[in-house]
Amino acid sequence: MAERVCVELVDDLDGAPAQSTVQFALDGVNYEIDLSERNASHLREVFRPYVERARTVTQRNDRAVRKDRVARNKRRADQREATQRIREVAERSRAHQRAVREAEEEARRAELAAAAEASAQELALSQQPPAQEAPAQPAVDPARPTVALPQFSSATG
């Protein structure tokens, strides 16, 4: 199946058939308008005194555009690198703070353990019966076997 597309230009001012698209710029904005020959010549006639006294502006060359792009990319890379360095310093700071907190907690646990140990020793000493003189040991008869009996304390604890 074949298809044919026809584009018909219509004058944007009066709706008559247009012969050309006229491009112009004003205040840094580019415009284009479809005009008939009569309206296009009228537009050019209106602009003529201004165009005669105006300066032409050359487009920036590709080298300058490329140079600007390179400078912008370098600036962005430098900013990313600086951001990364800041993040690394912040992470080291957080790690140092964690290490200090853990050391302080370990020191507190060691203090509590030492205090608990001291309390346990004081309690053990306070519950210990007073030292008594050892009873005289009877003479050991080698013919009789020796039996050791456990000693029981009546102290409650």
Q: What is the pLDDT of residue 97?
A: 93
- CB of 46 closer than 8 Å to CB of 33: no
Q: What is the pLDDT of residue 109?
A: 94
Q: What is the pLDDT of residue 10?
A: 92
pTM score above 0.85? no
Q: What is the pLDDT of residue 21?
A: 93
The SS3 assignment for 26 reads strand
Block means of pLDDT (10 residues each) for the chain, 157 residues, are 84 92 89 94 94 83 78 92 92 92 94 89 75 62 68 63
Q: What is the CA radius of gyration of the chain?
A: 52
Q: What is the pLDDT of residue 3?
A: 85
